[in-house]
Each structure stands twice: as C-alpha cells, then as structure tokens.
C-alpha cells in the first residue's frame, strides 16, 4: 500500500524552508487547497517553527495563526488535517475545529497533559524524536547507537501515551530526521529505518528539503527536490508509511512508481 502523503502548511514567519510565505491565513488556506488538489492525503498545519535555533511562540499567537486555516480547510473543504503542535491549548482548539491528528515533535514531553487530550478526542498522534529542543538540538548531538537510542526513546513515549489513555492503534512514530542529528545520523536512520517496525507502530517520516540534503549536495533549500525524492523513496522502501513533504505532486508520482516497482 502506498505511503500516505502529508502536505506541509507552515503558517509561520520563520520556518526553514518557506518561512513567511504562507503566514497570511488566506495564502495558507490557498496553499493547503493546492496541496490537496495535488493529491495530499492529509495536511499538516503548524504555527510555530521548529527549525534549528528557532524561538518559541505563545499558545495564543500559534492559535491565531492556525485556527482560521484549520477551520477553512476542514469546515469548508472537508480536508483531513493534522495539527503540528506540542501545546494543549492549540491542539484542543484545532481538534474542535475538525483536525484528526496531533503531530507533536516533542512526543508529548513539552506539555504531558496533551496525552489526555488526545485520548479524550480519540485522534491519531505522531510521536517524534528530538534531541533537546529546537534552540539547542544541533549542538553536538551524540548517540551510542542512533537507531537503538531512538527506538528506546520511542518505546518509552508509546508507553507514556498508552498509559494516559491513548489508543495504541492511533499512534505513529517518527525518528525525527534533522532534529538533533548529524548528517551521518540521518543517513543511518534511512538505512536502518525498518528496525523501527519492531515497535509495532506505523512509521512517519519527514526529510523534505532538510539541511542534510544541502550538506550532501550543496543545494540551497528551495533546490532540494531531487534529494528529497531520493530520501523519501528510500524511506518508503524501508518501511515508512507516511511521508511529510512540501512538494506533494512529484512525491506522489515518485511513490506511485516505487510502489509499482516493488509490487506492493
């Protein structure tokens, strides 16, 4: 079965790839609709950048950015929407507006009460690995074994979520490409992605336009489509079931061809 394609809608002034481009709600809504037309299975709407070195925003500011976008895309268009947040207040509002997934880069660590919210609303949850926090995550990241260490972390976060009432069948895991990893760490995660299947949960994967592609190729952030496709096809072949990307149409085409070749 082909991977689900998650289209990225950043309603932020400072995201690493498209910061400010869709900060205006109407532009973000139009962008979400365009990604849906290109074949996105769901749209991931975020109002706070998590790029390396980024500063946080208040829940009020984050909610002001994302609420009109969620409301329009779900209420008006019937799109399937994920809210990219680690804040209880933002998640509660987005879920009330019709979002059906919470994508938390802190794996329910920033605001642990978010687990109870997800349990009560019976939404899907993405638990992602990040070393430290966005401001510090790229400062000399060290692991004994990057895959084993992240597997242990995700196993613990699954246990936390389930112990707080989240249905295990609604949990996704994400190794967090680029979130506190060197280039070699990221490459090792690609090669050994299938080992995360031991955790028994579907794997989400996000490498779109990330800096390791630039470090490997010299490409600027808006010129990394080729590297992004290569990364995501490898991830899909190695077990990824959901791909979070900026460029939905070319990624959908790449996965359709890879799926046919693999005869899945």
Helical pair 248-262 and 225-237, crossing angle rounded to 10 deg: 40
Q: DSSP letter for 55, please.
A: P
Q: Is 220 helix (H, G, I), strand (E, B) or coil?
A: coil
Q: What residues have CB less than 8 Å from 100, skipping those under 6 apart? A: 42, 80, 81, 82, 123, 124
Q: In this prediction, what percent of the chain has a pLDDT beyond 70?
A: 92
Where do we find the tokens 């500063």?
Answer: 55
Q: Which two tokens stand for residue 232?
A: 């995501």
Based on the number of CB atoms within 10 Å of its own CB, is 139 exposed (0-12), middle (13-18) or buried (19 or more)? Answer: exposed
Stretch 187-214: mean pLDDT, rounded? 98
Alpha helices in 5-129 (DSSP H): 25-37, 59-70, 88-96, 114-121
Nearest alpha-carbon partner for 91 in 128, 57, 66, 127: 66
Q: Which two tokens stand for residue 146?
A: 């990057």
Domain-wise residue ranges, the chain: 4-262
* 16 pLDDT higher than 50: no
136 falls in which pLDDT band (50, 70, 90)? low
263 falls in which pLDDT band (50, 70, 90)? confident
Q: What residues have CB less than 8 Å from 17, skipping those under 6 apart? A: 10, 208, 209, 221, 222, 246
2 falls in which pLDDT band (50, 70, 90)? confident
CA dist., res. 13 & res. 29, Å (int):
15
* 38 pLDDT higher than 70: yes
User: 94-111, pLDDT tens digit by residue?
Assistant: 999 999 999 999 999 999
Strand ranges (E), 75-170: 81-84, 101-104, 124-128
18 falls in which pLDDT band (50, 70, 90)? very low
Which of 25-34, 116-125, 138-147 shows the lowest per-residue confidence on average (mean pLDDT)? Answer: 138-147
User: 162-185, pLDDT tens digit by residue?
Assistant: 999 999 999 999 999 999 999 999
Q: What is the CATH number of domain 4-262?
A: 3.20.20.20
CA dist., res. 83 & res. 97, Å (int):
11
| 111, 86 Cβ separation under 8 angstroms | yes
pLDDT at 76: 85
pLDDT at 25: 87
User: 69-79, pLDDT tens digit by residue?
Assistant: 999 999 988 99
Q: How many Å is the Cα radius of gyration of the chain?
A: 17
Q: What are phi and psi of 128, to 5 degrees?
A: -110, 150
pLDDT at 138: 67
Known catalytic residues?
Answer: 210, 244
């Amino acid at each position: 079965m082909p991977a689900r394609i998650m289209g990225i809608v950043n309603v932020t002034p400072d995201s690493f790839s498209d910061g400010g481009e869709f900060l205006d709600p109407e532009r973000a809504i139009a962008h979400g609709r365009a990604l849906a037309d290109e074949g996105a299975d769901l749209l991931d709407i975020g109002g706070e950048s998590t790029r390396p070195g980024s500063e946080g925003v208040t829940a009020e500011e984050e909610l002001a950015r994302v609420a009109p976008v969620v409301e329009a895309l779900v209420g008006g268009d019937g799109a399937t929407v994920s809210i990219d947040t680690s804040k209880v207040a933002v998640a509660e509002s987005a879920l009330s507006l019709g979002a059906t997934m919470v994508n938390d880069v802190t794996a329910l660590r920033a605001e642990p009460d978010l687990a109870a919210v997800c349990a009560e609303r019976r939404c899907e949850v993405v638990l992602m690995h990040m070393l430290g926090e966005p401001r510090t995550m790229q400062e000399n990241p060290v692991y004994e074994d990057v895959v084993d260490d992240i597997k242990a972390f995700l196993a613990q976060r699954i246990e936390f979520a389930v112990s707080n009432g989240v249905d295990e069948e609604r949990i996704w895991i994400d190794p967090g490409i680029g979130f506190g990893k060197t280039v070699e760490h990221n490459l090792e995660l690609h090669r050994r992605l299938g080992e995360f299947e031991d955790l028994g949960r579907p794997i989400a994967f996000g490498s779109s336009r990330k800096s390791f592609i630039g470090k490997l190729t010299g490409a600027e952030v808006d010129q990394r489509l080729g590297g992004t496709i290569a990364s995501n096809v490898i991830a899909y072949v190695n077990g990824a079931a959901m791909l979070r990307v900026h460029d939905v149409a070319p990624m959908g085409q790449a996965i359709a061809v890879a799926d046919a070749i693999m005869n899945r």
